Amino acid sequence: MTINIGFIGPGIMGRPMALNLMKGGYKLWAYARRPETLQPLTVAGATGCASASEVAKHADVIFTIVSDTPDVEAVIFGEQGIAKHARPGSVIVDMSTISPTATKAFSERLEKLGLEMLDAPVSGGETGAINATLSIMVGGKTKVFERVKPLFECMGKNIVHIGENGAGQVAKACNQIVVAVTIEAVAEALTFARKNGADPAKVRDALMGGFAGSKIMEVHGKRMLDNDFKPGFKVGLHQKDMRIVMETAHQLGLALPAAAMVTQHLNALMGTGDANLDSAAIVKVIARMSGI
Amino acid sequence: MTINIGFIGPGIMGRPMALNLMKGGYKLWAYARRPETLQPLTVAGATGCASASEVAKHADVIFTIVSDTPDVEAVIFGEQGIAKHARPGSVIVDMSTISPTATKAFSERLEKLGLEMLDAPVSGGETGAINATLSIMVGGKTKVFERVKPLFECMGKNIVHIGENGAGQVAKACNQIVVAVTIEAVAEALTFARKNGADPAKVRDALMGGFAGSKIMEVHGKRMLDNDFKPGFKVGLHQKDMRIVMETAHQLGLALPAAAMVTQHLNALMGTGDANLDSAAIVKVIARMSGI
C-alpha cells in the first residue's frame, strides 16, 4: 500500500525535509502559504494543493512545519485547515517548534475528531535537514510513532520517542534552554578572560578537554573568538523558542532563573538589530553591558 | 644536577601530586600545617620540614597548594614564609585556586626579591591528581614555565601556558564559571522536563548527541537523574571559587549575570547544609524553589 504524504510549510527547513521524503519513494501532496515556495517540490514531482484541507483529502500522514503556535492552530483547525477534510485515522505530524501545552490540547481536540497527532520538533538546522541527519524528538502514542518512524528515518538520524503528546516539544524546549544558557556560560567566561588580559583562545583550548568542554564551547566559542556571527541558528528564532519556554514555565508555576535571564539577553539583541545573527552573539550583550 | 623540590600543602589534592613528583625521581622537602598530613610523604622518602621557610632553604622549585588567597599570602610572605629564606632565582609554583589579581601582585612582590613565580591551578579532581592526569593552567614567564614543565608532566596531562602571571588563575576561574553555569543549564532543563511530565532520562538521551551535549550533561546530568550527589567537586569549594570570580569581576567592573546568579544558588546550598554534596546539587535549588 502506498502511503500518501502531505506536507505543509516547505520553508528553509521544510523544503529539504519534504524532498528527502520524496527520495524515500513516497508520493507527496504539498501546500504553502506563498505558492512560489511550492515550486521546488512540484518540480521534483509533488502535487501542489490550494489549501491544507486539500492536502488532507489526499494524504494519510500530514507533516506540518510552520513558524509558531497560532500558525499550527490555523493550519490544523482553521477554515481551510487539515481537520476539516482529514480522513479518519489520519496522522498529523507537527514538526514545528511550538508550545508543549498547546500541543497537548491540539492532540486532545484531534483525538475527539478521530485523528491522530505526533509532535516531532527537530534540531540540527538547515544542514541537518538537507543531509537527513536531524535529531527528531517525538511525543505521542507508541503505535502512532511506530507507524510514522520509517518516514522520520527519511529525514533524521537520532529519532527519540520521548513520551506522550507534547513530550517532543518539552524535549525541544529543554534543548533550547541548555543551548542558550551554555552559550551564556561560554560568553561570560571568554569575556572574563579578555577583561583580565588573558588570551581567550588559549583559555578555550585549556578548557575544551575537561568538564567545561561542550559542543557549544567548540562551535559557539569559536564564533565568539572569531567575532563571526553568521548563523547557525538565528537570535530571532532562539528568542521565539525561549518565549515558548518562559510561557510554559509561567503556566506551570516553575522558576527558571538562568533561562529567564538569557531570554532577556536575546531580547536585548533584538533591540540592537541583531535578530539575524547567530545566537552566539549573546557574547555581544555581555561585552556591551560593561563597555567592552 | 638534582632539582630539590619543595612542597607545601599535601592535602587531598597535594598528597598524590607530591607522591607523583617523587615517583619522577625528585628529592622532596615538604611542609604541612598539621604535621600528621606529612607522614605519607615522609614514609615515601620526603624530608619533613618545620616551616615553609625551612622548605625554601633546601628547594629550588617550591610548590604550594593551599586553600585560599590569604593562605597563599601567609605561606609566601608570612613570618615563617618562603620568601624569607628562598635562594635567589628560586621558583614558587602556586597550584592553589586563588584570586588572579592577588596572584599578579604576589608575583610582582617576588620579582623585587629576585624570586620567580608561576600560577598553576589544576582541574581534574582527586582522581586526576592520583592518576597524574590533571589539567594544569599556567601563568608566568615562558622561560620559567619551560624550566618547571618537566615537573608539571609528573602531575598532569593537559598542561597549557596561558600567558603572564595570573593568567593561569584567570583560566581556572573561566573553567569554574563554565562548569557552574552549564550545571545550571542542565538543572533547569531537566527540571522543566520533570514538571512537564516528560521523562528527564529520555530527554537527556535525546539531547546528548546534539548542540546541548556536554561533559556536564553526561556526568552531572546523570547525577541529577540518579539523585546521587556524592562528590565529584564539592559545593563548598565551588562556592569559594565563584567568590573569587565575583570578587575579580567586582574589581574589574565587569557584569557576569549568570555566574552571579549561580553563585547565589551555591550560597543557597550552603544554607541548606549541602556544602559537601557535588555541585550538581544545584538542581535541588531549582526544584525546591518551585516546591518540587
Other Cβ atoms within 10 Å of A43 Cβ, number: 8
Mutate to test the interface with B, among A152, A178, A214, A216 (most CBs of B within 10 A): A178
Q: What is the mean pLDDT of chain B?
A: 96
Task: Report the percent of chain B where pLDDT is more than 70.
Answer: 100
Other Cβ atoms within 10 Å of B143 Cβ, number: 8
Closest CA of chain B from A199, distance in Å: 7
Asked if A195 lies within 8 A of B158 by C-beta distance, the reply is no
Q: Compare CB distances from A181 to B137, B188, B202 and report the shortest one's residue.
A: B188
Cα angle B49-B54-B57, degrees, rounded to a multiple of 5: 130
Residue in A23, A141, A149, A172 annotated catalytic = A172
Architecture of domain B4-164: 3-Layer(aba) Sandwich (3.40)
Report residue B290 CA to chain centroid gap. 33
Amino acid at A163: G
Query: How is chain A split into domains, by residue range?
Result: 4-164, 171-289
Helix, strand, coil shares, percent, chain A, to 5: 55, 15, 30
The beta-strand segments (E) located in A116-249 are 116-119, 122-123, 134-139, 156-163
pLDDT at B259 over 70: yes
Buried b (16+ CB within 10 A) or exposed e, A188-216: bbbbbbbbbebbbebbbebbbebbbbbbb
pLDDT at B1 over 90: no
Are A226 and A209 in contact by the 8 Å Cβ rule? The answer is: no
pLDDT in tens, B81-115: 999 999 999 999 999 999 999 999 999 999 999 99
Instruction: Give contacts of A135 with chain B, Cβ < 8 Å.
Output: 206, 209-210
Q: Compare CB distances from A207 to B178, B219, B254 and report the shortest one's residue.
A: B178
pLDDT at B209 over 90: no
Instruction: Give contacts of B184 with chain A, Cβ < 8 Å.
Output: 181, 258
Helices (H) and strands (E) in chain A, counts: 14, 9
Closest CA of chain A from B26, distance in Å: 27
Asked if B215 lies within 8 A of A216 by C-beta distance, the reply is no
**Inter-CA distances, A98 with A51, A144, B71, B185, B258, Å:** 21, 20, 53, 20, 26
C-alpha dihedral sign at B235, B237, B240, B242 = negative
Cα angle B234-A283-B139, degrees, rounded to a multiple of 5: 55
ipTM of the modeled complex: 0.96
Q: Compare CB distances from A206 to B171, B180, B207 and report the shortest one's residue.
A: B171
Low-confidence stretches of chain A (pLDDT beneath 70): 1
Mutate to test the interface with B, among A131, A159, A164, A196 (most CBs of B within 10 A): A196
C-alpha to C-alpha distance for A253 and B289, rounded to whole angstroms: 10
Are A232 and A278 in contact by the 8 Å Cβ rule? The answer is: yes
Residue in B27, B112, B157, B172 annotated catalytic = B172
B237 Cβ contact partners less than 8 Å away, ≥ 6 residues apart: none
Nearest C-alpha in B relative to A138 = B206
Side-chain half-sphere exposure of B236, counting CA atoms within 13 A? 9
Give me the count of residues in chain B: 292
Q: What is the dihedral of CA B21, B25, B27, B31, to 10 degrees?
A: 20
Closest CA of chain B from A179, distance in Å: 5
Nearest C-alpha in B relative to A247 = B192
Instruction: Give contacts of B225 with chain A, Cβ < 8 Å.
Output: none
Are B178 and A212 in contact by the 8 Å Cβ rule? The answer is: yes
A251 Cβ contact partners less than 8 Å away, ≥ 6 residues apart: A101
Are A215 and B211 in contact by the 8 Å Cβ rule? The answer is: yes
pLDDT in tens, B116-132: 999 999 999 899 999 99
pTM for the model: 0.96
Q: Is B195 a catalytic site residue? A: no
Task: Report the percent of chain B where pLDDT is more than 90.
Answer: 96
Omega before A168 cis (within 30°)?
Answer: no
Asked if B192 lies within 8 A of A209 by C-beta distance, the reply is no
Architecture of domain A171-289: Orthogonal Bundle (1.10)
Q: Model confidence at B2, in pLDDT bands (50, 70, 90)?
A: confident
